[in-house]
Amino acid sequence: MIKPISRDDLLICIEILHRGYETVAIEFALTEENSPDRGRASLPLEKLVAEFNAGAFMFGYYYNDCMVGYLGMKKLENGDIGLDDIVVLPEYRKNGYGTELLNFCKQTAKDLGAKKVRLGMIDDNKRLRKWYEENGFATIRYIQYDNAPYTVGKMECQV
């Protein structure tokens, strides 16, 4: 079940972000020096609270009344939706929860009148890129940031 996040849920959300993104941080050797907040694996609670206060759309994926996944997105200036986070705790992966969150994101974007969902990801993460492509996303450009040990792929999907 997917439910909106309340301010009281943010501590659980930050734990999910940290645990969920830690596998990526390790796999791609992310440090504070080469990737801010280690790709969100060490995102400070204050930053998540600021995103919440700025009107980000945040949802939790619940399994047996326990939040095991997180979806964060925002409305962009052009009216599209920016997908900031889809993360599922490692022990709950491969159950389709991420796909449910992504489909929910796309439907929410459509309901909000957006034409596209846009995201940025570590393009070197071939598994994740393939998953996004299988779910309708296409890479529109690449960005190489100074000191980053990876390339960012900017992707979008029509809704």
- Which pLDDT does position 72 carry in this prediction? 98
- Which pLDDT does position 150 carry in this prediction? 87
In a domain, 95, yes or no: yes
In a domain, 87, yes or no: yes
Say how many C-beta atoms besides its own lie within 10 A of residue 25's C-beta.
18
In a domain, 134, yes or no: no
Tokens for 100?
């449910």
- What digits encode the pLDDT tens for the residues 95-136? 999 999 999 999 999 999 999 999 999 999 999 999 999 999
- Which pLDDT does position 37 carry in this prediction? 83
Report residue 36's pLDDT band, with 50, 70 and 90 as the boundaries: confident
Cα→Cα distances 84→64, 65, 153, Å: 25, 24, 13
Nearest to 138 by CA among 124, 117, 109: 117
Nearest to 119 by CA among 134, 140, 101: 140
Report the predicted TM-score, pTM, of the whole model to 2 decimal places.
0.94
- Which pLDDT does position 141 carry in this prediction? 96
Mean pLDDT of the chain: 95
In a domain, 128, yes or no: no
In a domain, 6, yes or no: yes
Q: What's the CATH code of the domain at 40?
A: 3.40.630.30
Q: How many domains does the chain have?
A: 1
Domain range for 103 is 2-112
